[in-house]
Amino acid sequence: MLFGVHYFGPLGVMSAALPHMRRNGYGRIVNTVTDVALDAREAYGFAYGAAKAALWSATLGIAKQVSGQGITVNAISPGARTRLTAEFIDRDFRGGVASGLDLSPEHVSRVVAYLCTEDAGDITGRVIHAVGGVIREYTTTRTSKSDLVDRFAVAIVS
């Protein structure tokens, strides 16, 4: 059920919208993902995180697929206090750090609105985290310089 709502639902919407966007040579898609896809500290259960991780990946893949067609595909990872999140946030979210933050949804909606403008036509395949007026971009990196890599180097040297 969670996978259907949080992955297949957005995929269906994109599949329906993309032909129209391609015909018009213009379109803006902004999916909603979450840091729960990457952060095991949250207790949402694996299905929700897995669905959002799949949507995260689909966002990046579809952005590549429609590159150069006037269509942008991005994702927002919102942090906001809404009807749906209020109970969770008010119940000592991450040790109560959220209690003093301005988590109004307007901070998130401004980012989404900008991603839908002409000015944002060069922004695609990106994941933006917006919370409390702070904006961050999620990026992934691969490194050979970490404690884990060093451990493997020692453990599997022949």
SS3 state at 124: coil
The reported pLDDT for the residue numbered 92 is: 57
For residue 93, pLDDT over 70 is answered with no
Which is catalytic among the residues 7, 26, 44, 48? 48
**pLDDT tens-digit series, residues 21-71:** 999 999 999 999 988 777 666 656 678 888 999 999 999 999 999 999 999
The reported pLDDT for the residue numbered 121 is: 97
The reported pLDDT for the residue numbered 117 is: 97
Whether 138 is catalytic: no
Buried b (16+ CB within 10 A) or exposed e, 8-45: eebeeebeeebeebeeeeebbbbbebbbbbbeeebeee
The reported pLDDT for the residue numbered 113 is: 98
The reported pLDDT for the residue numbered 37 is: 77
**CATH architecture for segment(s) 2-155:** 3-Layer(aba) Sandwich (3.40)
